[in-house]
Structure 1
Amino acid sequence: MKIIGIGKNYVSKKEDIKALKNGDQTIFLKAESTLVTNNEDVVYPSITNELAYEVELVAKIGKKGKDISLENAPSFISEIAVGIDYTAKDVLAASRENKGPWALAKGFDGASPISNFKPISDFLDLSYINFNLVINGEEKQTGNTDFMIYSFAEIIAFVSKYMTLEPGDLIFTGTPALGAGLNVKGDHLQAFIEGELLLDFKIV
């Protein structure tokens, strides 16, 4: 099972999409051991002092595909969840100094808490899904897929040119342009899709 992420995929103003949509998607991979499920608490990792959160919708692949067309791409999604893509920002900064990869900064244990999944049939329009993140009772991020630079379908079509997508693969589809920040021990995170609380955990 692969965990695929896309970076810098949301805008705060829809009119910016055209200028930024140049086909150059920022794709990275995360280890399966990053997953935290069933609303279990996340242990603050010892490898960082800067644990950065980003709330994202997560698409689960339901069938095998390679070189998937844009038109057929939505049919490869079986379910959708909400998750947090964690980054160890200090680890990432150190790696970037040497032009290194993102692997350790994104791939540590606990870096991908996700909610239970909702069937794709629950979503009438993939291009208009609301989601948000509340931390300690305060809304920190709010997003709608209408503000994505690259849609679910465009991500799937692009990634499948390079690697075969298989049932169970997960795609973190990007975070809203505003509101990402740092977590500390004791923080209580709650993430919602269309107002429904799906992800609920603490940093311990």
Structure 2
Amino acid sequence: MSFPAIPTVAPATLAIEGQSARFPLRRVYCVGRNYAEHAREMGHDPDREPPFFFSKPADAVVPAAGTVPYPPLTSDLHHEIELVVAIGEGGANIPVEQALDHVWGYAVGVDFTRRDLQAVAKKMGRPWDFAKGFDASGPSTPLVPVAVTGHPSKGRIWLGVNGQARQQGDLAELIWPVADVIAYLSQSVRLEPGDLIFTGTPSGVGPVQIGDVVSGGVDGVAEFSFTVGPRTA
């Protein structure tokens, strides 16, 4: 029997609503600029862009509850509310007509972004990794199985800070709906059980500060509320 050369870290998991079992996480993919108004507020033309993706580490997904720390190396941390898709059946080159059969459940997450680092990366033609993939950059609600939610294709998606509305949209406004996102992504990588997909954010993204209370949700899926905690070292 072989043993690891160093102590191992427990694999990342996400809670499941109403269950003691947890959903093991493999990879986390995020769709960029998947709502037209958000694409425009970021200075892009949504009519000309196919979907594109970036990633977060699996252990960047933390509960969207209690306190979520403010990260280091930024003074411009932005919120981005998103519908999150959990893959339960793997596959490559998945036909769009079969894509929803691969979904295990849904959650609601926040794609936290160090916007100042992202701006520098864009200007210098560098990757976004440190702007998007830092510790606790993906707060998420517990997953809700498809048997409960169905496949939401419309419904309000919203986020507020300290009780003031910031983001308001509808899932029907997704440029690339969930089935299209799964099919397109599976052409580049083989999806496997445990993969999460953050599906994009509506317009209204903006900064949060230490002490802010961030709340949000997707109608028919889940809601959350957490406080932005002290800056991490």
> One fold, TM greater than 0.5?
yes
Residue identity in the other structure for 1:78: W
- Identify unmatched segments of 5+ residues in structure 2: 1-25, 39-44
Q: How far does the alpha carbon of each residue in 1:82-132 deviate from its partner, in whole angstroms, 9 at most, with x for none?
A: 110011011111212220001110011011000011122333453213221
Q: Residue 34 of structure 2 corresponds to which residue in structure 1?
A: 9
More contact order relative to length (CA 8 Å, sep ≥ 6): 1
Count the aligned residue pairs.
Answer: 198
Q: Residue 182 of structure 1 corresponds to which residue in structure 2?
A: 207
User: Is 1:203 matched up with 2:228?
Assistant: yes
Retained in 2: the 8 A contact 1:12–1:147?
Answer: no
Q: Residue 79 of structure 1 corresponds to which residue in structure 2?
A: 105
Retained in 2: the 8 A contact 1:43–1:110?
Answer: yes
Retained in 2: the 8 A contact 1:131–1:195?
Answer: no
- Superposition deviation, residue 39 in structure 1: 1.5
Q: Residue 194 of structure 2 corresponds to which residue in structure 1?
A: 168
Q: Residue 32 of structure 1 corresponds to which residue in structure 2?
A: 58
Select which of 187, 192, 198 maps to 2:217. Answer: 192
- Identify unmatched segments of 5+ residues in structure 1: 14-18
Instruction: State the alpha-carbon separation in 2 of the partners of residues 183 and 122 from structure 1.
Output: 32
Retained in 2: the 8 A contact 1:116–1:198?
Answer: no
TM-score by length of 2: 0.79
Instruction: State the alpha-carbon separation in 2 of the partners of residues 125 and 145 from structure 1.
Output: 11
For residues 151 and 197 of structure 1, do their structure 2 counterparts lie closer, same or farther at Cα, with a shift above 3 Å needed?
closer
Q: How far does the alpha carbon of each residue in 1:135-172 deviate from its partner, in whole angstroms, 9 at most, with x for none?
A: 11112112211101001011100110110111111100
Matches within 5 A, 1:113-192: 113-176=139-202, 178-192=203-217
For residues 181 and 30 of structure 1, do their structure 2 counterparts lie closer, same or farther at Cα, with a shift above 3 Å needed?
same
- Superposition deviation, residue 179 in structure 1: 1.2
